[in-house]
Amino acid sequence: MTEASMRIEDAAAIRELPLFRNVEQGVFARLIDAGFLQRFPPGVVLIQESDRADFLHVVVEGTAELFAGTGGRETTIELVRPVGLFILAAVLRDQVYLQSARTLERSLILMLPAESVRATLEADPAFMRAVVMELAGDYRRTIRDLKNLKLRNGAERLANWLIRAELEQGATGAVEIPVEKRTLAARLGMTPENLSRAFATLTEYGVRTKGARVEFTDRLALLAYAKPDPLVDLPD
Amino acid sequence: MTEASMRIEDAAAIRELPLFRNVEQGVFARLIDAGFLQRFPPGVVLIQESDRADFLHVVVEGTAELFAGTGGRETTIELVRPVGLFILAAVLRDQVYLQSARTLERSLILMLPAESVRATLEADPAFMRAVVMELAGDYRRTIRDLKNLKLRNGAERLANWLIRAELEQGATGAVEIPVEKRTLAARLGMTPENLSRAFATLTEYGVRTKGARVEFTDRLALLAYAKPDPLVDLPD
DNA sequence: TCTATTAATTGACATTTGTTAAGCGACCGC
DNA sequence: GCGGTCGCTTAACAAATGTCAATTAATAGA
């Protein structure tokens, strides 16, 4: 590894990713060694759609936003936080990225050369198996997202996002929105103005907002409105 | 193989799928031999979302519609025609389907038991490699679809669908819509009424419809309106 | 602390999309 | 050939979403 040394905890966290957990130690060391660990300030574009995929990126600290545009419009596809990676599919197929990525805050990113990743695929069947599972999971998450988008209106998408976030944050009856609201709006497929309106709609179901903090005063009412569906909202 | 014997051409077509092309002959024969080849009338539900994935399905003849619903609404995710398969990701992860599938016409379907597919994965590295590429491609197609949906309105999606279909059908200046219009509407993320309106909008750009047949009288105008983007509209 | 900047909200309005209902036309079975 | 069914289209209306502008709130710097 060049550019910077990794903290022990970071190295361990990467090693424990499903993608790398069962990779043979020597193979893993070689892959990591080919990589760069780099710190970026907020707002830096890490990859650009239409560029040939050159690195598999691992978010070690911070947040990366995957976004894409066409015809002058732009939207957010996904938010990647530690420890997560992007974009495996483009790297493996040696094709162009379909999404761009930027840092939303000061972030530490591990960059693994595409060629090394593909070499690792051939070097270790355990890695290939893990890649299969990872890609299948990526596909399924995207299908869920597509269903969410095609089958629900904005307020319903927000309600289900809140329910999921509250669970992930410890089921305390409150949610801290971890990004700017306009980013959340784009992630949910709407404009910032529309997100505000969606929050207003959810007031009726016990949703109270104070800045980035959202509280539930009537979970049952919110659940009844959101109608969460395990085939759309739950992780695998 | 049980249930029915396969025509030579069908067997060859399956063998030539990217997924199977490089699989060792014996391994391939064993996999196919574990499968069932079955003919279904139109409108038969082949798989149901939330069911455990039991088979990898290969469309040998006919058309399968992948669809999904939640909260009483329903939409079409994808149309699968010969020779194509569904749904590899669920089979490999041994999880529930996120999509249902039905035949749209009389169809010939090869059903490969999930367990056999997973066994083949372990038996032949060439198959595992092909699976990686297939899944990465599936993911990328879905991301394209998501971008299409989030970044364009209905008429734009229709225009780009028409341009793509015309190319695939031989660039004759005309397109034959291969499914019912309501199915196309659901595939494009709109209602049938909205699809009619979208066709009306495209009249201005030289699009003429007679039933399922669509003609372009002003390709440049249509292209200028649709603004096709290789990162959304082209296959990999 | 104050100020400048940016994000978020709100309201008015336009556009897009969905809904309901009616009518038209093609196809199928009798 | 006839009647019925079903898919498609059209119209009127309603709801959802986007756009633009103005205001308020939050944030970062000086």
Please give, one letter per residue, the 3-state secondary structure of chain B.
Answer: CECCCCCHHHHHHHHCCCCCCCCCHHHHHHHHHCCEEEEECCCCEEECCCCECCEEEEEEECCEEEEEEECCEEEEEEEECCCEEECHHHHHHCCECCCEEEECCCEEEEEEEHHHHHHHHHHCHHHHHHHHHHHHHHHHHHHHHHHHHHHCCHHHHHHHHHHHHHHHCCCCCEEECCCCHHHHHHHCCCCHHHHHHHHHHHHCCCEEEECCEEEECCHHHHHHHHCCCHHHHCCC
A149 CB within 8 Å of a chain B CB: yes
Instruction: Identify residue B141 by its one-letter amino acid code.
Output: R
With 90 as the cut, is the pLDDT of residue A9 above it?
A: no
B234 CB within 8 Å of a chain A CB: no
Instruction: Identify residue A76 by its one-letter amino acid code.
Output: T
Looking at residue A46, what is its pLDDT?
97
Q: How confident is the model at residue A12 (pLDDT cuts 50, 70, 90)?
A: confident
Looking at residue B226, what is its pLDDT?
97
| Number of separate helices (H) and strands (E) present in chain A | 10, 11
The pLDDT tens digits for A168-180 are 999 999 999 999 9
For residue B151, what is the nearest residue in chain A, using CA coordinates?
A73
Q: Give the percent of chain A with pLDDT over 90.
A: 94
Pairs of residues, one from chain A and one from chain B, whose beta carbons lie less than 8 Å apart: 152
**A157 CA → C14 C1’, Å:** 24
Q: How confident is the model at residue A2 (pLDDT cuts 50, 70, 90)?
A: low
Average pLDDT, chain A: 95
**A235: which chain B residues are within 8 Å (Cβ-Cβ)?**
none
| Dist. CA A23–CA A129, nearest whole Å | 10
Global pTM value: 0.96
| φ, ψ of residue A115 in degrees (nearest 5) | -65, -40
The pLDDT tens digits for A92-121 are 999 999 999 999 999 999 999 999 999 999
Long-range contacts from B80-87, C-beta under 8 angstroms, 24+ separation: B81/B178, B82/B13, B83/B13, B83/B14, B83/B17, B83/B58, B83/B59, B84/B58, B84/B59, B85/B17, B85/B19, B85/B56, B85/B57, B85/B58, B85/B59, B86/B47, B86/B56, B86/B57, B86/B59, B87/B47, B87/B53, B87/B56, B87/B57
Q: Give the residue carrying structure tokens 């079409």.
A: B76
The pLDDT tens digits for B191-213 are 999 999 999 999 999 999 999 99
Instruction: Determine which helix (DSSP H) or strand (DSSP E) holds A221, and give its type and residue range.
Output: helix A219-226
Looking at residue B2, what is its pLDDT?
53
**B209 CB below 7 A from strand D atoms:** yes
Residue ranges in chain B whose pLDDT is less than 70: 1-5
Cα–Cα nearest to A38, from A63, A6, A85, A81 = A6
For A75, left (φ over 0), alpha (ψ -120 to 50), or beta?
Answer: beta
Looking at residue A5, what is its pLDDT?
64
